Structure 1
Amino acid sequence: MVSQIPGALAFLCLLPLTLMPMSLAMTSLYEDYGWQADSYATGQHFYSRSAVCVPIPEDLRLCHNVGYRDMRLPNLLEHESMQEVRQQAGAWVPLLAKRCHPDTQLLLCSLFAPVCLDRPIYPCRSLCEAVRNSCVPVMESFGFPWPEMLRCDKFPLDNDLCITAQAAGGTPSESPETKKCPPCDNEQTMESVTEHFCASEFALKMKIKQVKQEGSDRIIMANPRKQKIVKRGSLRRKQFRRLKLHLKNGNGCPCPQLDDTSGNFLIMGRKLDEQFLLTSIHRLEKKSAQLKNIVKKLRRHKCTAFHSTFEG
């Protein structure tokens, strides 16, 4: 039971994960047990299959640089294979780039790639709430609610045996007036563009016909005669010809790419109910070969599986 965890371990839980001794993470095998997800708040813990320590692979980008080398498997979200962990964790990598809270990686990796100790250590409820409160506006701009698997009341109240928030305050440094709209705030690197490409339902190279306002959203109308589909998803060709993209809450944040709507754009998005949401936008400058080369590679790129950004 939890009360039997040694006092030294309880002290470790109060430290940032990056300060935990590597020797704890390098033990090759623990015969310990995972708590079931629905028992956090009640204290009525019961145990499932045994867990082992495995190295965090380099291609698990969400947690590869988290500060320790090995993780428990199954993890605390009951993912039993590394393939499943990769697929589910990959959808959350774009959220880190949005910098919505400095403890986002700490929260997610405590669940996707928990550190190997002699008992599972869950995030404290206050850590979950701090990240949730800062990141929900970003997630909503992509059409996603805070997921059920991260419902904060599932996690324990702050105590010596859970992972506490490490960031002071945890509020974004930029004001809402100057912070870019999330789909407009992306790095123009192969890694970043590919992550958004695999987490989006469709992608196309296109010219913009018109940008207008509709409620709190900014609406981007595609020029149907100037399109090249890079990723079709479930959309039919006639849907691309009438494409009307919603930049959610785009009237309240800047999107520099739309300051000049001439030229070509790499647009990514997803369908939510009857709307098409913009998830990423890149301006294809005439003199820049970088994005042109990325677009060519995307046409040949095979995503491991379709997964929606920030879903889990």
Structure 2
Amino acid sequence: MALGQKSPRLALTQGFFSLALGLLLFSLLLFTIVDADEYDYYNWQADNFHNGRFYTKQPQCVDIPADLRLCHNVGYKKMRLPNLLDHETMPEVKQQASSWVPLLAKRCHADTQVFLCSLFAPVCLDRPIYPCRSLCEAVRDSCAPVMETYGFPWPEMLNCDKFPIDNDLCIPMQFAANHVTQPPVSNVCPPCDNEMKADNIMEHYCASDFALKMKIKEVKKEKGDRKLIAAQKKKKVLKQGVLRKKDLKKLTLYIKNGANCPCSQLENLGSNFLIMGRKVDQQLLLMSIHKWDKKSKELKFAIKYMKSHQCPTYHSVFQ
């Protein structure tokens, strides 16, 4: 989905989050909540000391910037710094949060954005409000298998045992009580479940170790994985990264745990593909696959943009 557009799924998530947040704010009136629009700094019981870490700056309320894509339009306009992941500056928040943007597109759980933004861009209150442990566990149980497809484990910084047991002072699941309206979870293989949009392509390009235009000779199943064997024809290297010459000569990619999930791109192997991937434990894992559609303006723009775009240098958490 292009920048600035809001999908029905995102709007629905925001609606439920806004409702729950309103109830949460009402319950916190006893703790003297201050309107975030009326101050730049707010009182925090622990002052500059939190989780064993001393901050050089007072906690602040700041606007959620439009380029914080993970949490812009999440349902509130201001966030606190430092956030609940110990990020003290907005550039640090943006760098770390951007690596989680593709997880939202995977639709692994309806509350993924609610959970992540409660930590990366917490709402401004007179005390930090953490996500409930049940919210963390629900998102983890649904999204960890998707992350593992790309070779990423559920990170320690999101260890659910760190979060409070459900009560009125933590952010609960938003869809638990209304399964009818919950957006459907996709069962498509995660690397195959990507829109042909330029910003989506560039997110995966920056997150991947390599990117190629190539043909696929054969697809096999192997120990629960799906194995993609490249054709011997010449491959166009868009980003070489960790690939060596011998890798390119005999190229094999894997979709982890992807033996049986649908992947429409692999139903017809006659065309060229845009392939992006990572090298994990000597295996080349598929990150994203698109049919090379010469008529696609989105693809043309992305390919042109790749030539000059400087990807962020941060270490990806999810992508």
The alignment's TM-score, normalised by the length of structure 2, stands at 0.83
Task: Please tell me the residue identity of whatever aligns with 1:29.
Answer: Y
Aligned residue among 219, 229, 232 for 1:221: 229
The answer as to whether partners of 1:205 and 1:229 remain within 8 angstroms in 2 is yes
2:95 paired residue number: 87
**1:119-198 to 2 correspondences below 5 Å:** 119-168=127-176, 174=184, 179-198=187-206
1:119-151 Cα offsets, whole Å, 9 max, x none, are 111111011011111111211111111110111
1:239 to partner: Cα distance: 2.0
Task: Please tell me the residue identity of whatever aligns with 2:90.
Answer: M
1:23 to partner: Cα distance: 7.6
CA distance in 2, matches of 1:309, 1:240: 27
The answer as to whether partners of 2:275 and 2:290 remain within 8 angstroms in 1 is yes
1:25 paired residue number: 36
CA distance in 2, matches of 1:25, 1:227: 54
Aligned residue among 262, 278, 295 for 2:303: 295
1:176-209 Cα offsets, whole Å, 9 max, x none, are xx72101100011111111111111211111112
Going from structure 1 to structure 2, the CA distance change for 1:308 and 1:47 (only over 3 Å counts) comes to closer
Task: Please tell me the residue identity of whatever aligns with 2:40.
Answer: S
CA distance in 2, matches of 1:64, 1:233: 31
SS in 1 for 2:173: coil
Select the structure that is richer in strand. Answer: 1
CA distance in 2, matches of 1:109, 1:253: 29
The answer as to whether partners of 2:265 and 2:290 remain within 8 angstroms in 1 is yes
Going from structure 1 to structure 2, the CA distance change for 1:109 and 1:174 (only over 3 Å counts) comes to closer
What root-mean-square deviation, in Å, do the aligned CA atoms of Structure 1 and Structure 2 show? 2.6
1:246 paired residue number: 254
1:23-43 Cα offsets, whole Å, 9 max, x none, are 833232224247745xxxxxx
Task: Please tell me the residue identity of whatever aligns with 1:137.
Answer: P
1:289 to partner: Cα distance: 4.1
Task: Please tell me the residue identity of whatever aligns with 1:239.
Answer: D
Tell whether 2:107 aligns with 1:99.
yes
Identity of aligned residues (%): 58
Tell whether 2:235 aligns with 1:235.
no
1:33-86 Cα offsets, whole Å, 9 max, x none, are 47745xxxxxxxx67433111111111100011111111111110011111111
2:13 paired residue number: none
SS in 2 for 1:209: strand
1:6 paired residue number: none
Task: Please tell me the residue identity of whatever aligns with 1:17.
Answer: L
The answer as to whether partners of 1:284 and 1:292 remain within 8 angstroms in 2 is no
- Say which is worse superposed, 271-280 or 196-205, in terms of deviation: 196-205
**Residue ranges of structure 2 left out of the alignment (5+ in a row):** 1-16, 27-32
CA distance in 2, matches of 1:109, 1:234: 32
**Residue ranges of structure 1 left out of the alignment (5+ in a row):** 1-12, 38-45
The answer as to whether partners of 2:65 and 2:72 remain within 8 angstroms in 1 is yes
**1:35-50 to 2 correspondences below 5 Å:** 36-37=50-51, 48-49=54-55, 50=58
CA distance in 2, matches of 1:138, 1:18: 31
The answer as to whether partners of 2:68 and 2:94 remain within 8 angstroms in 1 is yes
Going from structure 1 to structure 2, the CA distance change for 1:16 and 1:169 (only over 3 Å counts) comes to closer
1:71 paired residue number: 79
CA distance in 1, matches of 2:293, 2:222: 28
Aligned residue among 286, 292, 307 for 1:284: 292
SS in 1 for 2:91: helix
Going from structure 1 to structure 2, the CA distance change for 1:24 and 1:104 (only over 3 Å counts) comes to farther
The answer as to whether partners of 1:55 and 1:70 remain within 8 angstroms in 2 is yes
1:292 to partner: Cα distance: 2.9
Aligned residue among 275, 280, 286 for 1:272: 280
1:43 paired residue number: none
CA distance in 2, matches of 1:146, 1:47: 23
